[in-house]
Amino acid sequence: MRLDPLADALSAIKNGENVCKKYVVIYPRSKLIGKCLRLLQKTGYLGEFEAIDDGREGKFKVELLGRINNIGAIKPRMPVKLRDIDNAETLYLPAIDFGMILLTTSKGIMSHYEAKKERIGGRLLAYVY
């Protein structure tokens, strides 16, 4: 029984990067994982990914580019206000403007840079650098 599929997906990506794999298969497939992967692809951390329907829960096949040093889920998923995003950035990222924190907001999943620009807060999901 999986308790946190997002954390399992991010740890699979991290383990695949550590052993220099070209692809990694992530299961089960969910909308949350798909949107996080799309954001990571848009920012250049991941290559192409495809959703595979195997008749059960589904899978993602993700291309790894070797650009991720560390990635992980933030547990518990703490709510953060706009003024507290900088504190979360110093807590989870090694340096300012190095890496990205993924947030879930009322306008969807976005990076902390986009959340600052849109001037909204949300809940912390994951970090990557």
Ordered structural domains, the chain, with CATH: 5-64 (3.30.1370.30), 74-128 (3.30.1490.10)
Q: With 80 as the cut, is the pLDDT of residue 43 above it?
A: yes
pTM: 0.94
Please give the average per-residue pLDDT across 9-26, as a whole number. 97
Helices (H) and strands (E) in the chain, counts: 4, 8
The structure tokens listed for 107 are 């306008």
Give residue 87's pLDDT: 96
Per residue in 46-93, pLDDT tens? Answer: 999 999 999 999 999 999 999 999 999 999 999 999 999 999 999 999
Give residue 95's pLDDT: 95
| The dihedral sign for the CA sequence 60, 65, 66, 69 | negative
Mean of the per-residue pLDDT values for the chain? Answer: 96
- The pLDDT-based confidence of 2 (bands split at 50, 70, 90) is confident
Placement of tokens 């848009």 in the chain: 42
Please give the average per-residue pLDDT across 5-25, as a whole number. 97
- The pLDDT-based confidence of 109 (bands split at 50, 70, 90) is very high
How far is residue 33's CA from residue 112's CA, in Å, rounded to a whole number?
A: 17
Give residue 1's pLDDT: 62
